[in-house]
Amino acid sequence: MKARLVLEDGKIYYGESFGYQGEKGGEVVFNTGMTGYQEIISDPSYCGQIVVLTYPLIGNYGINPFDFQSKNSLIYGLIVREHCDYPNHWQADFNISEYLKEQKIIGLSGIDTRALTKHLRKQGTMRGIISTLEEESDQSLIEKAQNVPKLSDFDYVKTATTKRSYEFEGSGPHVALLDLGCKYSIIHSLQEKGCRITVLPATTSAEDILSLKPDGLLLSNGPGDPKKVPYVVDTVKELLHKLPVFGICLGHQVLGLALGGDTYKLKFGHRGTNHPVKDVSSEKIYITSQNHGYALIKESIDNLPVSISHINLNDHTVEGMRHNQLPLFSVQFHPEGSPGPYDSIQLFEEFINLIQNSQKVS
C-alpha cells in the first residue's frame, strides 16, 4: 500500500507502507545508529515521535524477546529506506512489520532517508504526518501536519512512566529509580552491580521516596520537554540534600532544573550510537549512545555550585555535571548503551561508590 510522510513545511515523501495502516502525527526525528533498531523502537524516550532510521536496511535480524527496552513501543511511526520481511537470526521470533502491526505503528519504507535526514538537519526537527490513507489530499495532510501538537505541548512522561511501583531484589545498595520513561537496560545495569531496586512512578512524592529509606536515587531517561514535568523537578529539589542522585538523559535535565539551571530545545537533537563525548577531568573521549532533543543551557549553570564533567565534541553542549559539595551527578548520554557502546558503563560503579562514600560520612 502507498504511504506518505508530510512535513509541516509542505515537503512530502512518498513510499510504501508496512506494519499498521492509518494516520498518525508527531515530531519527526532521525537516529544515526547502524544497529539496534529493536532497542530504538522500544525506547520510551521516543514517545510522541516519528523515527527516521538512517541506516538503509532495517529488520534483517528480526525481532527477538530479549532486546526490548520497554513492554510496548511508544513511537508514533517508523521511516526506513528498506525493511526486511525475511530476517535471518536464530533468536528472531518475528519480523519488524509483524511487530509494528501488533503495536499499531505505521511504517514507511522506500523513501530517500538520506535526503530526509539532510532536510531535517538543515531546517530542524519538525512536525509531520505519516499516512496510508489514499483518499486524503496532500494539502489536507500539510494542514494537519501544521496542527500536530508540539513536543512541548504535552507531558509525555505520564504516558511512558510505570503506573505502579515494583522491586528487584539485590544484596547491594537500595536504589530508588524514578521512572520518567526508563529503559530496561538501566535496570539491568544496576542489577549487574547487585543493587536492590525499587522502580517508582514519576509522580511519586519526595516523602514517599524517603519512606522507602533508599540509599540513592536514580533519575531515568524519558520523553519530551523537561519543563513539562515541574512535579518531578519539585520532588528532586526536596531530595537534593537528602540522597545521592544520579541523573541520565531527561534525568540529567531535570536535575539541572532542580539546581536552578535552564534548558533549551536543540535544532535537531542527538540520536544515535556514535556521538563523541569528552570527559573533562580525564580528557578521555567516549563514543556514546544518545537520544534527546533538549539540553542544559551552559550559561545557566555557570554560577551554580556544579562543574561540567562532560562535553559533546560535535556541538560543545553540556553532556554531564557534578555538584561541588553534594553527592549528585548526571550525564546527558546513555552509559547503559543498548543500543550502542558501553564506553561509559563505569558510571554505574561511580554511582555505587558515591552511595557508599555518603554512607561512611553519615
**Residue 33's CATH number:** 3.50.30.20
Distance CA 331, CA 310 (A): 7
Q: What DSSP state is assigned to residue 39?
A: H
**19, 93: one domain:** yes
> Are 138 and 186 contained in the same domain?
no
Helices (H), 44-150: 96-102, 113-123, 138-146
- pLDDT, residue 1, reads 87
300 and 346: one domain?
Answer: yes
The answer to whether residues 104 and 77 belong to one domain is yes
- Domain at 297, CATH number: 3.40.50.880
How far apart are the C-alpha atoms of 253 and 236, rounded to whole Å?
11
Task: Please indicate, yes or no, whether residues 49 and 113 belong to a single structural domain of this protein.
Answer: yes
Same domain, 200 and 92: no
- Shared domain for 261 and 207, answered yes or no, is yes
* Cα(77)–Cα(70) distance, integer angstroms: 16
Is 216:173 a contact under the CB 8 Å cutoff? yes
Residues 186 and 307 in one domain: yes
Which structural domain, as residue segments, surrounds residue 285?
157-361
Bridge partners, residue 246, by sequence: 218, 329
Are 97 and 105 contacting, i.e. CB atoms less than 8 angstroms apart? no
Question: Do 293 and 164 lie in a common domain?
Answer: yes
Last-in-domain residue among 116, 149, 182: 149
φ/ψ (deg, to 5) at 319: -110, -5
Alpha carbons 116 and 155: distance in angstroms, whole number: 27
Give the integer Cα–Cα distance in Å for 298 and 103: 39
Task: Decide which of 117, 149, 181 is a domain's last residue.
Answer: 149
- From first to last of its 362 residues, the chain has per-residue pLDDT tens of 899 999 999 999 999 999 999 999 999 999 999 999 999 999 999 999 999 999 999 999 999 999 999 999 999 999 999 999 999 999 999 999 999 999 999 999 999 999 999 999 999 999 999 999 999 999 999 999 999 999 999 999 999 999 999 999 999 999 999 999 999 999 999 999 999 999 999 999 999 999 999 999 999 999 999 999 999 999 999 999 999 999 999 999 999 999 999 999 999 999 999 999 999 999 999 999 999 999 999 999 999 999 999 999 999 999 999 999 999 999 999 999 999 999 999 999 999 999 999 887 76
Are 271 and 30 in contact by the 8 Å Cβ rule? The answer is yes
334 is catalytic: yes
Greatest Cα pair distance, the chain, in angstroms, is 68
Q: Looking at the structure, tell me whether residues 173 and 319 fall in a common domain.
A: yes
Q: Is 47 a catalytic residue?
A: no
Say yes or no: 242 and 258 in one domain.
yes
Cβ atoms of 193 and 222 within 8 Å: the answer is no
For residues 9 and 53, membership in a common domain is answered with: yes
Active-site annotation holder among 39, 249, 252, 310? 249
Q: Is 169 a catalytic residue?
A: no
Number of domains in the chain: 2
149: which DSSP letter?
A: P
Q: Which of 27, 39, 319, 336 is catalytic?
A: 336
Domain boundary among 130, 149, 168: 149
